[in-house]
Each structure stands twice: as structure tokens, then as C-alpha cells.
Amino acid sequence: MAQPNLTSADFEPLHIDHAESEKIVGESTSYWKDAWRRFRKNKLALTGITILLLLGFMAIFGADISGEDYRTNDLMSTNIAPSADHWFGTDTLGRDIFARTWDGARISLFIGLTAAFLDIIIGIIWGAVSGYFGGRVDEYMMRFADILSGLPYLLVVILLMVVMGEGIWTMIIAMVVTGWINMARIVRGQVMQLRSEEYVLASRSLGASSSRLLFKHLVPNTLGPILVTLTLTVPNAIFTEAFLSFLGLGVPMPDPSWGVMTSEALGALQYYPYQLFFPAFFICLTMLAFNVIGDGLRDALDPKERK
Amino acid sequence: MAKYIMKRIAYILLSLYLIITATFFLMQAAPGSPFASERKMTPALEKQMEEAYGLNDPIHEQYIDYLVNAITFDFGPSFKYVGQDVMDIILRSFPYSIVLGLEAIFIALGLGVLFGVFAALKHNRFGDYTAMVIAVLGISVPSFIMATILQYIFAIQLDLFSVARMESFWDTILPALALATTPLAFIARLMRSSMLDVLSSDYIKTAKSKGMSQRIVTYKHGLRNAMLPVISYMGPLVAGILTGSFVIEKIFGIPGLGSEFVTSITNRDYTVIMGTTVFYSVLLLISILIVDLIYGIVDPRIKINAKGGGK
């Protein structure tokens, strides 16, 4: 048996460098990077994003693809089932449903996103100020919000629409009047929780002003819940738009919106169900996509809550 | 307890006062007159009409009159239907709505809890995923679309139900289902997550380690505690069913309060709009109060005497 070549150096203890062993090998991850990694694993949410991107693309370019116009009546070709000429068919006035669907998408998405965005802005300011200052200011601001939110949301929106008249902007305003409360409550809760954190105290003792503390430290740290609420507010706004248009209080003629189209198709449901199918399908698809993304975001941003 | 209820009632009255005031002034500001129609009235006749409805009194007198009358639930006569009081219309149509609403609440609660518990017990298995996919779909399908789908499949294609009629219990099934869809899905998700929370808590482990059967642990110990978030969702549930009934009643041709409200909006029948709004608000505020009180009874950990009350 061959003797292994062992020298006395082989029996020396290995050098242990404490500084070396404390070194972090993995790449450091920020909160958002970590969330993104978790979000990427959620196939359902990724599908939701893909659907939304496609819908957005079609909302911008879709109406031009077919070469038809959303408002031209063609009374010689009414109620045509989907065909090579009219991909989604035509409605009772001979308007091309394909073109109307995508113009409707533009309007529905615009209303949904704008209303949600305004909700967020008002909600953040109201909630942050209320939560940050606390005490009497908080008491009054939240009491005001409580009284407003005691009213049924849709009832208020309907009443405002009756007074302000139909229109895209009046609808957005009507939705925002009470829509921001939910957001304000969430932001307030978060801010109250964070306000006593040490980094806020540190910043304050360095002489930071209230507005700097609020918008530099507190609000950015509540961005997670805000983002989740935003994605769940949009489908709500799209639903409200469709609901109002369905009641004849929403988007005025001849602009199409999915709610208007659903409402128009209802009369012909028995004979031309495809007229209902397309707008209804896309309302559901959009709401589904937003809901799925919202759920995915919540799981990704707040893994403790994940079940 | 009594103090708490008094405080809550005071807030309800304050809210109601604001609602009545807001509806009054909003309706004053609204465009269009109730007497504007195709047939032009002579100025003399119009003046007489306005006299009869008290429309040319100064605005503060109209307002005070309205406030005083609203307290006694007297909202005056309808502008469009001659000889009918707003309260008559409300009382005539409300029974349809309450039957429909209670049925929808029953369906939403029953099936929602069932689905949620089922999903929680099958956590991360096929049954869980199926139930939750159905729930997400349910949240994403607006009630009026659900209504038209149900109508098309079951009434038009299969001819099992009538398209639009309100005579027997059979006729209420489709509208109640449509009304219940969204809250049902919501309750299912709520129930699932709270059931999962409860099932992993210590007292459930204790109960299991004492050798209790799975069934008793789940239903006696788990379910009762997991129901709490669902009970607190009852307030929004009632509100959702109330407003949902606007379209559902219109689609199914039910002569309930929801469709009266929608008709009054198209007619610009201001007294009916105001009366219905106030009525809805009273209903809603009271049911939220009841829900909060029940919550305090069901969950003794919540002291409703505490500052801020309940929440």
C-alpha cells in the first residue's frame, strides 16, 4: 500500500478568519426586490398583468384595427352575428361591436384608473395628515369621514349623477366624493403605526419638518398597502361605471362604454346574445385581472398574511 | 351599554340630518323641472301647480317644512304619479325588496360560509383552489351581468324560470342568486382566511390533544370563532344588497323599491328620489347599528363601552 504524501503542514489547523465568515455572500435584497421575487412566482397574477397589458394595447389601438367606426350607423346591416366583416358582429343600429368594444375599453379603463388615482391622492393626504397629527385634528377629520362613509356609496354616486348630469368627468367626480375614504383609513392606520418608529424620531431630532417626515418617511413606507388598495379600487370603479351606465346615468350617447353596451344589448338578449357577450366578457375579464393582481400584490408585499 | 347605544343613535340622527339636508339642496340644484314635459303648460297653470306643491315658498321655508315632515316619514306627494304619496309608493314596493333582500342575504351567508369552511379544511389542495377560483370569479362578475347570464341560461334557453315576473317564490330564485353572487364570493374568502387563522390557534390544538373528534373541533370550536369577521361584514353586505337591487329589480321586472328608485331618477320625480334616499339611509344606518350590537354580544372580547365604540 502506497504511503500518502503527508507532511506536517497537513496537520496544521485551518486559518479561520472571523471577518471573512461574517461576509454576506448573497446579493442584498430590498423590500421591493423581495416582493417582486415573490410576485414573479405567482402565475395567476402574472397572467393578470398580461391580460391587462393586452387590454390596454387593444384599448389604444383596437378601434383602428377593424377599420370601422364606433358611431357610424349602418342600418342595412343591423344585428349581424360575428363574421369576417364584423368580428364581433353589429348591434341594433348596425354599429360595429368590435370597434365599440375597444372604444368602450378606452373609456372604461380611463374612468377606472382616473377615479382610483384621485381616490389615492386625496386618501393619502387626508389619512397621512390625520394619522400624523393625531389628537383633535384626527378626531375631526375621521369623524367627517365616518359620516360620509355612513352613506351607501352607490346611492351617493347616483344622487350626484342626477344633479351633475351625465358625463365622464361628472362620473369620476361623483365616484371620488366618497371613494377616497377607504384609502384615507388605511393610510391613517399605517401612519399611526409608523409614527412612533425610531427612524422617524431620528429624523425629527435632526430637525426634519412635518411635511418632510410625512412625505419622505411615512408615506413611502405605507406604499405597499396603498398599492394593493389601488389595484382593488380600480375594478370597483370600473364596476361602478358599468353599473351607472347600465342604469342610464353614466356615459352619454353615442360614446360606448361597456356598461352602456351591456344595457343596450339587454333588450335583444333573447335573439342576439352575442351583443351582450362581448362587453360583459370584457368587464369581467378586466375586473378579474385587477383582482388577481391585487391578491398577488398583497401576498407578495405582506407574506405574513399569506395563507 | 345604554350610554353606547345613545351615543350611536345620536350619530345616526346626525348622519340622517346631513343626508336629508344634502338631498334637499342637491335636488334644488338639479337640472330639469318635474313639470317639464312635451306638452307645454300655460304660465297660469304652472303657477297653480307650483302653488299646490309649495314650490314658490322661499327656500328656507321649503327646507324647514321638509325637515319637519321627514321626521314623521311624510315625504309629500309624488310629482309624477298624481295622487300618490311618496310613502305609499315606498310601502307598496318595499315588501318585494325585503323578501328578495333577505333571500339574497340568506344565500350569500349560507353558501359563502359553506364554501369558505370547505376551502379551509382542504387547505392548499384541489378543493381549496377550486373554491377560491370560483370566489375570485364571483367577485369579478358584476351582479347585473350575473343577472343577465342567469336570465339567458335558465329563463330563455332552459325555460325553467320566468324571465320577469314576481308572483311566487320560484320567481325570486334567479334575482336573489344574482344579488347574492358578489357578497357570497366575498364571504367565502373572508371565511376561509379566518377559519385558517382559527384552526392554527392554540385552543384548537388543545381541543384536538384532548382527543376530541375532528368534527366537533371544526364545527363547535372553530366555526363559531371564525364567524366573527363574517358578522362584521354584515353591514357592507346589507348596503351592497340594497344598492344591488336597483339593477336586479330592473332586469327582472320586479316592482320593488329599487326599481321605483331608478324610475324616479329617470322621471326626475324629486320627492320620490329624496324620500327613497332617506328611507334607504335609515334602513342602512339601523342595520349597521344592529350588526355592531350583535357583534358585541357574540364576541365578548369586544367591549362596546370602550372609547370609539366597537371598532
Model confidence over A114-130: pLDDT tens digits?
Answer: 999 999 899 988 888 88
State the virtual CA torsion across A288, A173, B263, B148 in degrees, nearest 10.
-10
> Cell numbers of B273, please?
328620489
Question: How far off is chain A from B191, nearest CA to CA, in Å?
Answer: 13
Cβ contact B90:B276 at 8 Å: yes
Question: How far off is chain B from A112, nearest CA to CA, in Å?
Answer: 14
The more confidently predicted of residues B158 and B185 is B185
End-to-end CA distance of chain B: 15
Question: How far off is chain B from A87, nearest CA to CA, in Å?
Answer: 22
Assess whether pLDDT exceeds 70 at residue A84: no
Residues 6+ apart with CB under 8 A from B76: B53, B66, B69, B85, B86, B271, B275
- Regarding pTM above 0.90, the answer is no
Cα B124 to Cα B129: distance, rounded to the nearest angstrom = 7
Beta-ladder partners of A96 = A90
Assess whether pLDDT exceeds 70 at residue B305: no
Res A130: pLDDT: 87
CA proximity to B116, closest of B223, B221, B203? B223
- Chain B residues in contact with A146 (beta carbon < 8 A): 11
What Rg value do the Cα atoms of chain A yield, rounded? 28
Cα B67 to Cα B24: distance, rounded to the nearest angstrom = 9
Percent of chain B exceeding pLDDT 90 equals 5
What residue type is A23 in one-letter code? K
CA proximity to B224, closest of B204, B244, B242, B248? B204
Cβ contact A90:A68 at 8 Å: no
SS (H, E, C) B162-222: CCCCCCCHHHHHHHHHHHHHHHHHHHHHHHHHHHHHHHCCHHHHHHHHCCCCHHHHHHHHH
Cα–Cα separations (whole angstroms), residue A143 to A19, A146, A154, B3, B282: 56, 5, 21, 19, 19
Interchain proximity B243–A155, CB inside 8 Å: yes
Cα B193 to Cα A101: distance, rounded to the nearest angstrom = 37
Which of A177, A240, A246, A302 is the best residue to mutate to test the B interface, defined by the most B CB atoms within 10 Å of its own CB? A246
Res B107: pLDDT: 92
Partner residue opposite B285 with nearest CB, options A150, A247, A288: A150
Res A303: pLDDT: 61
* pLDDT tens readout for residues A199-223: 888 888 888 888 888 888 888 888 8
- Chain A residues in contact with B239 (beta carbon < 8 A): 152-153
> Cell numbers of A110, please?
380611463
Res B266: pLDDT: 78
Question: How far off is chain B from A270, nearest CA to CA, in Å?
Answer: 7
SS3 state at B85: strand
Question: How far off is chain A from B302, nearest CA to CA, in Å?
Answer: 19
Assess whether pLDDT exceeds 70 at residue B127: yes
Cα B241 to Cα B234: distance, rounded to the nearest angstrom = 10
Q: What is the mean pLDDT of residues A240-247?
A: 84
Closest residue of chain A to B286, computed from CA coordinates: A150
Cβ contact A149:B288 at 8 Å: no
Cα A71 to Cα A104: distance, rounded to the nearest angstrom = 11
Closest residue of chain B to A273, computed from CA coordinates: B152
Assess whether pLDDT exceeds 60 at residue A69: yes
Partner residue opposite A283 with nearest CB, options B14, B142, B280: B142
Assess whether pLDDT exceeds 50 at residue B115: yes
Does residue A254 have a cis bond before it (omega within 30 degrees)? Answer: yes
Res A114: pLDDT: 92
The domain segmentation of chain A, as residue ranges, is 51-66+73-305
Q: What is the mean pLDDT of residues B188-205?
A: 86
Average pLDDT in chain B: 80
Res B310: pLDDT: 37
Closest residue of chain B to A283, computed from CA coordinates: B141
The DSSP code sequence of A150-193 is: TS-HHHHHHHHHHHH-S-HHHHHHHHHHHHHHHHHHHHHHHHHH
Asked if A112 reaches chain B (Cβ–Cβ under 8 Å), the answer is: no
B175 phi and psi, to 5 degrees?
-60, -40
The more confidently predicted of residues B169 and A262 is A262
Q: What is the mean pLDDT of residues A217-231?
A: 83
Residues 6+ apart with CB under 8 A from A63: A70, A99, A102, A103, A106
Interchain proximity A247–B136, CB inside 8 Å: no
End-to-end CA distance of chain A: 61
Q: What is the mean pLDDT of residues B194-216?
A: 84
Res A122: pLDDT: 92
Instruction: Find residues 9-38 of chain A whose CB sits inside 8 Å of chain B.
Output: none
Assess whether pLDDT exceeds 70 at residue A23: yes
Res B104: pLDDT: 92
Q: Which residue has the cell 342610464?
A: A248
- Chain A residues in contact with B14 (beta carbon < 8 A): 147
The more confidently predicted of residues A195 and B304 is A195
The domain segmentation of chain B, as residue ranges, is 92-263+294-298
Q: What is the mean pLDDT of residues A85-90?
A: 70
* pLDDT tens readout for residues B20-78: 888 888 777 766 665 655 556 677 777 777 676 666 667 777 788 778 877 777 777 77
Average pLDDT in chain A: 81
- Chain B residues in contact with A288 (beta carbon < 8 A): 136-137, 140
Assess whether pLDDT exceeds 60 at residue B307: no
Interchain proximity B29–A163, CB inside 8 Å: yes
Q: Number of C-alpha atoms within 13 angstroms, CB side, residue B65?
A: 13
Interchain proximity A291–B250, CB inside 8 Å: no
- Chain A residues in contact with B136 (beta carbon < 8 A): 288, 291-292, 295
Query: Could you say which DSSP state residue A216 is in?
Result: I
Q: Right CATH number for A51-66+73-305 from 1.20.1260.10, 1.10.3720.10, 1.20.210.10, 3.40.50.1970?
A: 1.10.3720.10
Q: What is the mean pLDDT of residues B218-235?
A: 82
Residues 6+ apart with CB under 8 A from A305: A298, A299
Asked if A165 reaches chain B (Cβ–Cβ under 8 Å), the answer is: yes
Cβ contact A257:A242 at 8 Å: yes
Assess whether pLDDT exceeds 50 at residue B309: no
Question: How far off is chain A from B142, nearest CA to CA, in Å?
Answer: 7
CA proximity to A87, closest of A57, A67, A60, A108? A67
Partner residue opposite A147 with nearest CB, options B18, B30, B193: B18
> Cell numbers of A20, please?
471573512
Percent of chain A exceeding pLDDT 70 equals 90
Q: Right CATH number for B92-263+294-298 from 1.20.1300.10, 3.40.430.10, 3.30.420.40, 1.10.3720.10?
A: 1.10.3720.10
Cα–Cα separations (whole angstroms), residue B168 to A117, B73, B179: 46, 30, 18
Question: How far off is chain B from A50, nearest CA to CA, in Å?
Answer: 17
Cβ contact A105:A62 at 8 Å: yes
- Chain A residues in contact with B191 (beta carbon < 8 A): none
